[in-house]
Amino acid sequence: EIEKAYHKLEETHETLKATQSQLIQSEKMASLGELTAGIAHEIQNPLNFINNFSEINTELIDELNDGIEKGNLDEVKTIAADIRENESKINHHGKRADAIVKGMLQHSRVSTGQKEHVNINALVDEYIRLSYHGLRAKDKSFNATLKSELDQSLGDIMIIPQDIGRVLLNLLNNAFFSVSEKSKQNIQGFEPTVTVTTKNMGDKVRISVHDNGMGIPVE
């Protein structure tokens, strides 16, 4: 009987472990869903730049051909320089869009639990914008002041980016929700503000998220 009970306990333990793993993945997908609106907004900006500069370059190429036919070398050189500058901007914004997508895929993939070198300030900055624009997508009337005081002495640190990212997203979502709720009370002079600070503590990094919203009940 004891042996049977032991095997039953082992089976239950394995089931619990499997369920826990599923819950963790479900939580990841839920937080990814919250990120989607922010990602859509963030990626729209570089895509708009890419589309605009591509259209301008199409027009400039027509002007370039006209200049070549007229034999106006100075005009051809000026237009060619403009096209090159626009191509550089297209490349820059293309890389920006690529970085956003890579960040999203990194957030959604199953964590290996392996630490990797990550620029913590860049990670914090990315999640501030994604969280803010995620809330703005739900409520267009919402605005808040974003303040980031990032310690420039911090470079890459060894972390599991998906795990830290989820913590940051939860903290930031809570902060923006809190100031959003307070702003609905129409308190005169209230300016919803969320401040994120990173600090090099030598052998540690401190990340602080501060808001002037509803606060946390004492109990």
Lowest mean per-residue pLDDT among 60-74, 83-97, 127-141, 179-193: 127-141
Instruction: Indicate if the pLDDT at residue 38 is higher than 80.
Output: no
pLDDT digits over 171-205, tens only? 998 899 899 889 888 888 899 999 999 999 988 99
Distance between CA atoms of residues 25 and 31, nearest Å: 10
pLDDT digits over 134-156, tens only? 777 777 788 888 898 999 998 88
Contact 49, 89 (CB under 8 A): yes
Q: Give the mean pLDDT of the chain.
A: 84
**pTM to 2 decimal places:** 0.59
Kindly list the distances between the CA atom of residue 144 and the CA atoms of 45, 164, 218, in Å, as whole numbers in the listed order. 19, 24, 25
**What does the DSSP 8-state code read for residue 198?**
E
Give the bridge partners for 206, in sequence order: 199
In percent, how much of the chain has pLDDT > 90?
Answer: 19
A 10 A CB-CB count for 113 gives 8
Look up residue 1 and give its two tokens.
């009987």
